[in-house]
């Protein structure tokens, strides 16, 4: 097979795996409902590194590397709907994604990513017992940088919508736990790859469970496990046999100060069936409530 054909096949895989973002990851403690009329500002810097490529659980030859970085800006406001807590926010990333190693001949991208909108509602919120049940609806719009001739893009050139439900409650003494389920639906990308193919993707499901330990009112630690499945893609109606079966983890440290909250996340992939495994992901986050 000619080198150009290799490039195309690799690029088709990268569009939906290497630059895929799970925008609805939660952290332990995040399901606590805010008081009405609270404004939210969140700035997050995320750095990730991906390496070996897997197909049906088998590691492929080569030494691929994918470096990606984002600055995410989130603005939100809390309010009430029928006397129940609710919140709306909008989030936009700015960053880059660069292929390296055996992928260094492929073109990367930098610029603005796709914009996500969230509306979340708490059917149950008990501040006394610190127990919360929330549901959220997400919409991601294709506002990001995209060129069908590039192998990597900040944007995905398609809409996606998600529904999520989560529950959080105390466990024992300084411990609390959280669990959430979500499903993501995708519109088609009709300019996929060099020949402007049509990319379709099935529903992607994620479950997550986390623990949080409150060292003091100021400091806390957390750990979360994620399992994602589904999301098989097809190009021009032909299945790519690339079902997602992904296990991830994330460790969290939180510090609360008078000027805001500082959060540090570290995580990565434990096991992936198809795609480029994420070796590490760092997130430094600043949150301020007004």
Q: What is the pLDDT of residues 78-131, one digit of tens each?
A: 999 999 999 999 999 999 999 999 999 999 999 999 999 999 999 999 999 999
Mean per-residue pLDDT of the chain: 91
Q: What is the CATH number of the domain that holds 94?
A: 2.40.128.130
- Tell me if 281 sits within 8 A of 267, measured CB to CB: yes
Structurally, the chain folds into a number of domains equal to 1
Predicted pLDDT of residue 151 = 86
Predicted pLDDT of residue 247 = 96
Q: Which residue has the higher pLDDT, 4 or 283?
A: 283
Count the Cβ atoms, other than its own, within 10 Å of residue 68: 23
Predicted pLDDT of residue 5 = 41
Choose from 1-5, 28-32, 271-275 the range with maximum mean pLDDT: 271-275
Predicted pLDDT of residue 44 = 97
pLDDT exceeds cutoff 60 at 21: no
Residue environment code for 196-227, b if the CB has 16+ CB neighbours within 10 A, otherwise e: ebebbbbebebebebbbebeeeeebebbbebe
Q: Residue 188 belongs to what domain range?
A: 3-289
| Confidence band, pLDDT 50/70/90 cuts, at residue 24 | confident
| Confidence band, pLDDT 50/70/90 cuts, at residue 18 | very low
Q: Give the SS3 label for residue 85.
A: strand
CB-based contacts of 5: which residues, under 8 Å, 6+ apart?
Answer: none
Task: Report the pLDDT averaged over residues 138-146.
Answer: 96
Predicted pLDDT of residue 75 = 98
Task: Supply 131's token pair.
Answer: 């127990």
CB-based contacts of 204: which residues, under 8 Å, 6+ apart?
Answer: 183, 184, 186, 228, 229, 230, 231, 244
pLDDT exceeds cutoff 60 at 188: yes
Predicted pLDDT of residue 10 = 46
pLDDT exceeds cutoff 60 at 53: yes
pLDDT exceeds cutoff 90 at 287: yes
């Amino acid at each position: 097979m000619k080198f150009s054909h290799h490039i195309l096949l690799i690029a088709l895989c990268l569009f939906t795996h290497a630059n895929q973002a799970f925008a609805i990851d939660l952290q332990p403690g995040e399901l606590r409902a805010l008081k009405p009329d609270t404004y939210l500002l969140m700035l997050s810097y995320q750095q990730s590194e991906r390496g070996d490529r897997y197909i049906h659980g088998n590691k492929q030859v080569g030494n691929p590397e994918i470096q990606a970085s984002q600055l995410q800006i989130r603005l939100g406001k809390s309010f009430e709907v029928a006397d129940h807590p609710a919140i709306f926010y909008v989030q936009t990333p700015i960053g880059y994604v660069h292929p390296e190693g055996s992928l260094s001949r492929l073109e990367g991208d930098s610029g603005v990513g796709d914009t996500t909108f969230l509306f979340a509602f708490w059917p149950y919120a008990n501040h006394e017992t610190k127990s919360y049940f929330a549901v959220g609806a997400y919409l991601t719009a294709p506002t990001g940088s995209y060129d069908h001739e590039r192998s990597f893009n900040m944007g995905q050139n398609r809409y996606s919508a998600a529904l999520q439900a989560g529950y959080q409650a105390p466990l024992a003494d300084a411990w609390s736990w959280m669990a959430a389920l979500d499903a993501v639906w995708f519109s088609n990308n009709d300019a996929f790859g060099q020949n402007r193919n049509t990319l379709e993707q099935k529903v992607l499901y994620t479950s997550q469970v986390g623990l949080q330990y409150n060292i003091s009112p100021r400091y806390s630690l957390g750990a979360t496990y994620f399992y994602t499945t589904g999301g098989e893609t097809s190009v021009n109606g032909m299945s790519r046999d690339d079902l997602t079966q992904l296990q991830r983890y994330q460790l969290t440290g939180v510090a609360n100060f008078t000027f805001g909250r500082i959060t540090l996340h570290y995580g990565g992939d434990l096991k992936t069936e198809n795609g480029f495994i994420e070796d590490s992901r760092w997130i430094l986050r600043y949150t301020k409530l007004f």
